[in-house]
Amino acid sequence: MLHYCLLLPYAAVTFLLHLNPATSYEIVEKDDIYRSVVCPAFLLFDSMAYLSDMTFELPCHCKPELIKSVVWYYQKNTGNKKTRVLTDFNGTVQLDVQNVRGSFDIVFRFSIRMFSLIVFKAQIEDSGNYMCGSRDGHFFYGYSVDIQESKNAYVAFEDRHGHPQPDLISKYFVVFTTFWEWTVCDRCDVRGEQRRIGLCYINSTYLNPRFRVAQYIGTTCGSEAVPPKFKKSISGRRPEIIVRSCISPCHKPKKGILGKFSTLIHNIMKLKDYIPWTTKVPIQLHTHPIGSRLSIACPGAKPEHAVAWDKDNDRLYRTEYLIGINNFMRVFIDHGNHLNFRFIQFDDKGIYYCWLQGKMKAGFRLAVQRDPVGKRHFSDPESVFAMKAIGISFLFFTLLFILVHCIKCCFRNLRCLLLPEQLNAIK
pLDDT digits (tens, 9 = 90+) for 307-332: 999 998 899 999 889 987 877 889 99
On the 0-12 / 13-18 / 19+ scale of CB atoms within 10 A, 115 is: buried
Q: Give the span between the Cα atoms of 245 and 159, in whole angstroms.
A: 7
Q: State the DSSP H helix or E strand holding residue 39, giving kind and residue range, or none if neither.
A: none
| Lowest-confidence segment of 129-133, 182-186, 238-242, 268-272 by average pLDDT | 268-272
Which of the two residues, 144 and 110, has the higher pLDDT score?
A: 144
User: Can you tell me the mean pLDDT for 158-183?
Assistant: 90
User: Can you tell me the mean pLDDT for 283-289?
Assistant: 86
Please report whether residue 271 resides in a domain. Answer: no
Q: Give the span between the Cα atoms of 224 and 335, in whole angstroms.
A: 24
Mapped onto helix, strand or coil, the DSSP state of residue 331 is strand
Please report whether residue 373 resides in a domain. Answer: yes
Backbone angles phi, psi at 113, to 5 degrees: -130, 125
Q: Is the pLDDT of residue 80 over 70?
A: yes
pLDDT for res 392: 87
pTM comes to 0.63
Same domain flag for 385 and 288: yes
Please report whether residue 39 resides in a domain. Answer: no
Which residues lie across from 165 on neighbouring strands?
none
Cβ pair 97, 25 in contact under 8 A? no
Same domain flag for 127 and 166: no
Same domain flag for 184 and 159: yes
User: Can you tell me the mean pLDDT for 113-138?
Assistant: 86
Strands of 103-220, DSSP E: 110-113, 116-119, 128-133, 139-148, 154-157, 168-169, 174-179, 191-203, 211-212, 219-220
pLDDT for res 98: 38
Cβ pair 352, 285 in contact under 8 A? no
Same domain flag for 235 and 330: no
Which of the two residues, 284 and 324, has the higher pLDDT score?
A: 284
pLDDT for res 194: 93
SS3 string, 215-260, reads CCCEEECCCCCCCHHHHHHHCCCCCEEEEEEEECCCCCCCCHHHHH
pLDDT for res 179: 92
Same domain flag for 65 and 17: no
User: Can you tell me the mean pLDDT for 62-70?
Assistant: 79
Please report whether residue 264 resides in a domain. Answer: no
Q: Give the span between the Cα atoms of 368 and 346, in whole angstroms.
A: 6
User: Can you tell me the mean pLDDT for 402-417?
Assistant: 83
Same domain flag for 130 and 165: no
Give the model confidence (pLDDT) of 235-263 as tens digits.
Answer: 889 999 999 999 988 877 666 666 666 66
Question: 365: domain CATH number?
Answer: 2.60.40.10
Please report whether residue 230 resides in a domain. Answer: yes
Same domain flag for 161 and 128: no
Same domain flag for 126 and 223: no
Confidence band of 278 (pLDDT split at 50, 70, 90): low
Same domain flag for 377 and 297: yes
| Lowest-confidence segment of 34-43, 47-56, 193-202, 221-230 by average pLDDT | 34-43
Confidence band of 371 (pLDDT split at 50, 70, 90): low
Same domain flag for 284 and 243: no
User: Can you tell me the mean pLDDT for 180-203?
Assistant: 91
Domain range for 117: 45-147
pLDDT for res 38: 67
Same domain flag for 345 and 317: yes
Q: Is the pLDDT of residue 74 over 50?
A: yes
Cβ pair 311, 351 in contact under 8 A? yes
Q: Is the pLDDT of residue 138 over 60?
A: yes
Q: Is the pLDDT of residue 16 over 60?
A: no
User: Can you tell me the mean pLDDT for 394-412?
Assistant: 89
Q: Give the span between the Cα atoms of 119 and 71, in whole angstroms.
A: 14
Same domain flag for 54 and 99: yes
Confidence band of 19 (pLDDT split at 50, 70, 90): very low
pLDDT for res 332: 92
Please report whether residue 38 resides in a domain. Answer: no
How many domains is the chain built from?
4
pLDDT for res 105: 30
| Lowest-confidence segment of 28-32, 227-231, 256-260, 396-400 by average pLDDT | 28-32
Nearest-10 crossing angle of helices 2-19, 21-36: 70
pLDDT for res 28: 34
> Over the chain, what is the mean pLDDT?
77
Q: Give the span between the Cα atoms of 85 and 116, in whole angstroms.
A: 14
Q: Is the pLDDT of residue 11 over 60?
A: no
**Percentage of the chain exceeding pLDDT 70:** 73
Which of the two residues, 119 and 17, has the higher pLDDT score?
A: 119
Q: Is the pLDDT of residue 375 over 80?
A: no
Backbone angles phi, psi at 196, to 5 degrees: -135, 120
pLDDT for res 3: 40
Please report whether residue 426 resides in a domain. Answer: no
Confidence band of 13 (pLDDT split at 50, 70, 90): very low
pLDDT for res 335: 85
User: Can you tell me the mean pLDDT for 392-410?
Assistant: 89
User: Can you tell me the mean pLDDT for 142-147?
Assistant: 92
Please report whether residue 104 resides in a domain. Answer: yes
Confidence band of 94 (pLDDT split at 50, 70, 90): very low
Choose from 197-206, 263-272, 279-288 the range with maximum mean pLDDT. Answer: 197-206
pLDDT for res 176: 92
